[in-house]
Amino acid sequence: MDCSYFDAGVCRSCTLMGVPYGEQLAGKDRSARELLAPFGDAMWLPPVASAEAGYRNKAKMVVGGTLKRPTIGILDERGRGVDLSECGICAPGIRAALPVLAEFVTRARLAPYDVPARRGELKFVLVTLSPDDELMIRFVLRDESAVARIRRELGWLLGTLPNARVVSANIQPEHKAVVEGDREIVLTPESSLVMRVGGVGLRLRPQSFFQTNTAVAEQLYGQVSAWVDEVSPASVWDLYCGVGGFALHCAAPRRRVVGVETSAEAVKSARATAAAAGLPQLAFHAQDATAFAIRAKTTPELVIVNPPRRGIGSELSGWLEGSGIPHVVYSSCNPKSLATDLARMPSYRIRTGRVLDMFPQTGHLEVAVLLERV
């Protein structure tokens, strides 16, 4: 993949840009296997490749520039806006929407937030594209004063982007490196975007986490559900479940599945999907995963964990080590934190594993392993 932004030196976020994709994939597979080799003589499956470009279903774009000439992209080292509206790793549907959103910024008079001067009102535009080419658009604002102007021009936006299903305003008043705040104001009748993955229509609400690469996420859910079916547990916990991707794909008759996630919005999404799919054997709880496990009076036959980059940590690792649970599936976006957690769980060994390239052109990767208690 070639990128004019990378070649011009205006954006270096994709650190592997220019490296042949086969080399990228082989290098990620090799590094994960070497790092995790001390934790079992695993059978490693071939790595899952991604499309080299256009794979991102979500764009987190900083709004800079001026009211008349806004930029949608990143900020340079001086805090000035750099436009990346043609970013090649974003899905084509997102790239098509970004110039429209730039025009909307001007029409609605949403002054871009000037970070060095600490003035302005629009900080970010967050755009998500579903497999059905429908959009969720979120405007991250400094305060609520601009919401009325967004409402006033919303008809123009929906007319120009008829595939926009969800539009919202997120309020983030603080001057710090945090993308979004707690308050979300949904401005459309629809409040969730349907992400059809592997035959499951996951309902994604604002502030809910979803994997950024839909095609590889489908491979990930399919691989994990195959491992779970192979082990055939009667009960499963999906910790850090997000919108319930693993839980919903692992649902089966006479199998009790419980998902746990701190985000109340994500739990609402998961419950809505389970209800629409007619899966009463699934339950979802908006709780801290570690606290839920420690306080539970019973344990399942299998636990799935899909934590953030920091991993599951010493407390949950220690609980799993002493739990007696026969199998754990660990999906990680950071093999180093996975290795740290596995070192705290010596009773488990990797039975099989797989690298899934969720983030081409970057050094990041997803790795999933099936752990067996020995």
Q: Among all residues, which ones are annotated catalytic?
A: 333
For the chain, how many helices (H) and strands (E)? 10, 17
With beta carbons less than 8 A apart as the criterion, state whether 129 and 147 touch: no
DSSP classification of residue 143: S
- Round to whole Å and give the CA distance between 67 and 64: 9
Cα gap 96→98, rounded to integer Å: 6
Exposed, middle or buried, 14 (CB in 10 Å: 0-12/13-18/19+)? buried
* Torsion sign, CA atoms 237, 243, 249, 255: positive
Residue 225 and residue 248 in contact, taking contact as beta carbons nearer than 8 Å: no
Q: Which amino acid is at 233?
A: P
By C-alpha distance, which of 143, 195, 190, 201 is closest to 167? 190
Looking at residue 142, the DSSP 8-state letter turns out to be: S
Interatomic CA distance for residues 150 and 167, integer angstroms: 10
Helices (DSSP H) in the chain: which residue ranges? 4-7, 21-36, 92-107, 147-160, 214-231, 245-249, 264-277, 289-295, 313-323, 335-343
